[in-house]
Amino acid sequence: MSEREPKKNIKEISPIDVYKLLPKTNCRECGEANCMAFATRVVNGELNVDNCPPVAKEEYRTSYEKLLRLMAPPVKTVTVGTGDRAIKIGGKYVLYRHEFTYHNPTPIALDVSDDLSDAERDERVRAIGNFTYNYIGRELRLDAIAIRSTQHDPATFASAVNAVAAQTDLPLILCTYDAAIMAAGLAHIKDLCPLLYAATKDNWKDMAELALRYRCPLVVSAPYDISALRSLTKTLNEYGVTDIVLDPGTSVEPNLAGTIHNFSQIRRAVFQQHDELLGYPLVGTPITAWLSPELSRELIQWKEACITSMLISRYADLLILHSMEGWVLLPQLIWRFNTYTDPRKPVSVDTGIRTFGTPDKNAPVLITTNYALTYFTVESDIKSANIDCYLIVVDTGGNSVESAVAGRYLTADSMAMALKDNHVPDLVDHRWLIIPGLAARLSGETEEASGWRVLVGPKDSSGLAGFLKTYWPPKER
């Protein structure tokens, strides 16, 4: 591929393109049946090139490098931090989510300023690290801490950076335009690979020196001027800085529309015009809402929440916020989770049998699908009602009950097989199965296929407690 030739879009890459560059040994070290199966999963974004151990050997080095170039996303991946909590930003293959799943969910960073007292700072760092929410079985968390220099003093900033770094393993973003202050903050955390915010047309050389010396990624900032942003990126590339994050500027007012337009234009330039100088992750700063003249704290927070949601949808790869309130953060974490799920695959849970409470030989046996939202709703309703029971989770391809019945993913045969595979007859003395109300039309077929009698439960699992109180134990018929 020549340097001037536009890189192939992921949609234009076929498994054959990848297969030609693989060792073709069908060694199965990748876990797949053969090299073609591996190539297919690489193109689908389910595996990456490094999942093939042989291709990294010296004898295949040329092919390996070609594979890396072939599969490299148009938006470069940049790593911030080290260890298990390091975050990867960027790495986008397509402009629109329906074309191909998005990779590397947008990390959300909360700020800590160096004007806080020790107690205030430590409490805020603890709160950021402890913030968590369980959403359909997934733990949603905050991802990074942005340390801001507000006192404009190197010693003060260095003290704050050291204190925060000692208290958390979250990746850090150091925020100052003063290279001397940045250097003071970097001095004791140089091995933690923080993100440096930010290089501008006035300080780019000093910031570039720090980025190269400490091998840290660097934010390039040219608010509301894409041409200047592109020019700065080119200058830094030529200087040797390649791990770059772009800051196009975030304005909550009066130019919110301009903010969204700039983010969108940059991404279109990458995917539609093949502009490699803009092919870097984008950082948004909804924290700028706090510069608003509004007197109402709630209104400022509402604006910050709104722009955050918009930028998750419109191509931001990293976001810096200030508000810690749950009503601001939780919608963003859930929206991010939903945006970054694979649109080709419903969110599902493992199949099998779950035990709730202390069921005995007379406990009810229920059945549901492996669609995550369905399962966790049923689980929550069972737990809140303190029901002792067994719950069979059937593989329905991640479809809900109604969809699974309509699409023949949930059938009489699949339920009969689930009873057998999970050895349910050994768990209880009775032969009664409770199926979801939305699967009522399968009751007769299920009795024939399984040999069990069927009770049709409520359409909504919130009615399980009342249903069991009325119909369990069942009356012989």
Which residues does the chain have with pLDDT short of 70? 1-11, 476-477
Residue 8: the pLDDT is 60
Who contacts 263 (Cβ-Cβ below 8 Å, separation ≥6)?
A: 248, 282, 284, 311, 314, 315, 316
From the list 318, 227, 236, 299, the residue with the least C-alpha distance to 269 is 227
Beta bridge partners of 80: 87
Residue 7: the pLDDT is 57
Give, for 132, the enclosing helix (H) or strand (E). strand 132-135
Distance CA(372)–CA(349), nearest Å, equals: 5
How remote is the C-alpha of 159 from its chain's centroid?
Answer: 32
Distance CA(390)–CA(378), nearest Å, equals: 12
Give, for 108, the enclosing helix (H) or strand (E). strand 108-113
Amino acid making up residue 176: T
First vs last C-alpha separation in the chain: 74
Residue 370: the pLDDT is 95
CA dihedral 38, 43, 45, 50 (to 10 degrees): 50
Domain boundaries of the chain, sorted by first residue: 10-71, 77-339, 352-471
Q: What are phi and psi of 129, to 5 degrees?
A: -70, -30
Q: What are phi and psi of 92, to 5 degrees?
A: -95, 140
Angular region, 386: left φ>0, alpha ψ -120 to 50, beta rest: left
From the list 127, 85, 152, the residue with the least C-alpha distance to 323 is 127
Of the CATH numbers 1.10.240.10, 3.20.20.20, 3.60.20.10, 3.10.25.10, which one belongs to the domain with range 77-339?
A: 3.20.20.20
C-alpha torsion sign, points 277, 282, 287, 288: positive
Could you tell me the two tokens for 185? 């903050």
Residue 1: the pLDDT is 41
For the domain bounded by 352-471, which CATH number is listed?
3.40.50.11600
Distance CA(453)–CA(474), nearest Å, equals: 10
Architecture of domain 10-71: Orthogonal Bundle (1.10)
Residue 301: the pLDDT is 95
Amino acid making up residue 203: N
Distance CA(308)–CA(331), nearest Å, equals: 10
Give the β-pairing of 432-435 and 453-456.
parallel
Residue 2: the pLDDT is 40
Residue 3: the pLDDT is 43
Say whether 17 sits in a helix, a strand or coil.
Answer: helix
